Structures are given as C-alpha cells and as structure tokens.
Amino acid sequence: NEFDNNIIQYVREEFNMLIGEQLAEQVKIMIGSATPLKDSLVMQIRGRDLINGLPKAVEVSDSQIREAIGKTTYQIIESIKITLETTPPELVSDIYEHGIILTGGGALLRGLDKEIAQAAKIPVRIADDPLTCVVRGTGILLDNAELLSKVIAPNTEEF
C-alpha cells in the first residue's frame, strides 16, 4: 500500500529508524488522517535505529503522518479529477448526482472521502465493506455471464 510505504519512508527520513509494513499500517489506521483532526493523536512506535542498529522508540503525531501521506493523497485526488474531466458528459452527470464510492483499504483513511468531495465537488461515500466489496462484486460478475457482458468492453485492437 502506497500510504504504508509513505509512512515507512517518512519514519526513515525523519527519525533514522526502520519500521515494518505491519507497523506502518497500524500507524495509518490508528492516527492517519487526510484532514486535520480536532484533537491531535499521538502514537509511540518502535523500530530499529538506522545509525546504531539498536531498538528505538519515537512518538509520531497525526499531523506528521498526514505530512507523510500527503503526496499520495494529492495524487489520488488529482487522478479522480483527471478521470472526471475525461469522462463522457452523460456519465459525469450520473457521477455528480450519485457520487463515487471509495473501496479498498485507503477508503478507511480518516477524512479521505471529505478531501475528495471538496476537491472534486462531488458526493463521496465509503463502501459498506471497503476491504472486500470489490472481490465480492467481481465474484458476482463472474457468476453472471449476462451481467459480465454489460461491463466488458469489446477488444477493438487488430492483431
């Protein structure tokens, strides 16, 4: 996950400390936020000091994690805006009316839905079960050939 990689890199650069992917994900879940929080959150993290190789503990705040993931958050928002700009008008009107649904683990990042909604000026909501809804939807499509044929674009390339 790109957010987790951002956190690992930030901790490496700011604290000369190495942390693993699981801890980075925990940090993202516990104190990560795409928007400033009313009440600041702080978390102690432990890793390996890159200078002397010994165990090390530091405290990180939600604002530091927001800084760490800021570039990826911006890239997500810009990708959505670019996609909307190139979407046919008839589909855009549906999107502006019904909004978009965030799926996947990134959808669970506090405030990401609000940041996207504000930047793209469209309604945004989080799927009921963002971690598994795409897999379940794909399973439904694969079990239903008629439905699958409606979402698969024909191959127009010549060989």
What global pTM score does this model have? 0.82
The residue whose two tokens read 């010549």 is 158
Each residue's pLDDT tens digit, 4-19: 999 999 999 999 999 9
Structure tokens at 94: 């549906």
* CATH code for the structural domain at 90-151: 3.30.420.40
Q: Which among 2, 74, 75, 3 is positioned nearest to 32, based on CA atoms? A: 3
- Range 2-68 has CATH code 3.90.1150.10: no
- Give Rg (Cα) of the chain: 20
Structure tokens at 159: 């060989």
Predicted confidence at residue 54, as pLDDT, reads 98
Each residue's pLDDT tens digit, 69-95: 999 999 999 999 999 999 998 899 999
Residue extents of the structural domains in the chain? 2-68, 90-151
